[in-house]
Amino acid sequence: MNSLVLMLLGVAMVLAGYFLYSKFLASRVYKLSPTYTTPSHELSDGVDYVPTNKFVLWGHHFTSVAGAAPIVGPAIAVIWGWVPAFLWVTLGTVFFAGMHDMGALWASARNRGQSMGMLSGRYIGARGRSLFLVVIFLLLLMVIAAFAVVIKNLLIATPTSVIPVWGAIAVAAVIGQMIYRWKMNLLLTTVIGVVALYSLILVGDRVPVVLPDPILGMSPATFWIVALFVYAGIASLLPVWVLLQPRDYINGVQLFIGLGILYGAVLLGSPAIVAPAFNDSVPADTPSLVPLLFVTIACGAISGFHGMVSSGTSSKQLDKETDARFVGYFGAVGEGLLALGAIIATTAGFRTLADWEAVYASFAVNGVGAFVDGGGAILNAGLGIPVSLSATILATMAVLFAATTMDTGVRLQRFVVQEAGELAGVRINKAVGTLIVLVVAMALVFSSGGDGAGGLLIWPLFGTTNQLLASLTLAVVAVILLRKKRPVLPVLVPLVFVMVMSVYALIVQLGGFYDSRNWLLLVLDVIILVASLWVAFEAVVAMNAARKGTFDEETDEPVLTSASER
């Protein structure tokens, strides 16, 4: 199989999803209105609620949801063969992820920018809301802690990425001023930002940064982790337009260009796929394809974390409701294209099947490493880019994706902490909420030593927790659609599929944790399983009530139809 054929087929499928299926969803299911007053205008505060150009918001949304997961998941999942991974990424992007992300964005925008956790209280019930927030908190904790470790590892393994990664913060701060203070042309601003970022990549490739050991009394690993958390905390507190939004936007453009370079190398080099279409000789430690494929590839097919970003930050910046199609659905398309690139890099970036099998000798494969090495080989063969520079470009892509997800995750977790405090009758301000988030996350990261290994302690539960959260988000969207008497099958079918696969995977993992006597993960697995099933039950009850009741189309409030009801 030639990787060029796979690339063209995959790109055609996801773009057809955007131009055809998303148009149906926007007009028939969500009925996006250009005249609806979005929360960014109604509640504009210049900090979290900021009306934003849809291209800038797309950049923020895309890079926030992408992270390292759409690279890591597909890079691991190809161990079962490239066909299952390819089908789940493409079909999942078209019928699951795009619908989910646009739906969560629409639902939140229709409810004053509230998060999915708070929306569950209105549409599912108070008990469901509390359990929903527990699942959200655990998921965001996994993301923040694990991504800090992933970024640290990449900064140490690829010192040429240090300058472009940290330099991107300064570039973003200037971009924010250019857009909002100096009112400069967006295209000119974008060109300047992209040129600056790629210049930093060239500088970084020539000037690698290797930290001394120790540095400020810490090991390099500890120093990078602390620095990342300090940055994420500051970014969480600053007005969104100052750093978070312009950083995500310019990174999104730059990363999309990087992805284009990878696809261009495939177009010119047409490397053959050496990995098997279906792998009949998987390593002994590889779990069964069903259900683990559908939770190993989470981001890149459908992801509950996307619903948190859609309802946590993106909905507060949506200028027009009709922008939800471009920001939400096309944001998922961008992530699907990244996941497709990861599949190609990790199946066609090796010279022989034997070389591929050497890397995939265990299910515990280094997904990011396989992507950087395989993708670097493709860039070198297709475009003649030196191996070192190729590695720098791809490592920088991976780190920037992970970093933008981490800082958005801290902001979202702060919202969750404040919402939990509100439910408990305690007002938690932004600074205190952010401090709580950082303390809890850093305690987990350093729980197993200064190298940050603790950050990956609960990561094995990410895939299942993430997918369960996606199904619970879809449950909220389904209740809203039923109340409005809209078509609900485009939501219900993915909801049921993802819920079944996620619960199945949690049960499979439960047995594995018991056999390995991993009591921490076993207890967390049970908590997540019980909480999710409880919320699902409450959601079914709410859906049934919505189906039978009469509700106002605009407000979703019950309509009293008789004197006795009044």
| Spans of all domains in the chain | 3-548
Q: Are 79 and 361 in contact (CB under 8 A)?
A: no
Which tokens sit at 185?
Answer: 């042309």
Hey, how many other C-beta atoms are within 10 angstroms of the C-beta on 421?
16
User: How far apart are the C-alpha atoms of 304 and 501, rounded to whole Å?
Assistant: 14
**Residue 228: predicted pLDDT:** 93
**Residue 566: predicted pLDDT:** 45
User: How far apart are the C-alpha atoms of 545 and 155, rounded to whole Å?
Assistant: 52
- Residue in 417, 453, 423 with CA at minimum distance from that of residue 435: 417
Hey, how many other C-beta atoms are within 10 angstroms of the C-beta on 184?
15
Sites in the chain below the pLDDT cut of 70: 67, 560-566
- Residue in 251, 242, 283 with CA at minimum distance from that of residue 66: 251
**Residue 350: predicted pLDDT:** 92
* Three-class DSSP category at 272: strand
CATH 3.90.1010.10 fits 3-548, yes or no: no
- Residue in 136, 52, 36 with CA at minimum distance from that of residue 316: 52
Q: Are 11 and 334 in contact (CB under 8 A)?
A: no
pLDDT digit string, tens, across residues 290-338: 999 999 998 888 999 899 999 988 999 999 999 999 999 999 999 999 9
**Residue 561: predicted pLDDT:** 58
pLDDT digit string, tens, across residues 132-181: 888 888 889 988 998 899 889 889 988 988 999 899 899 999 999 998 88
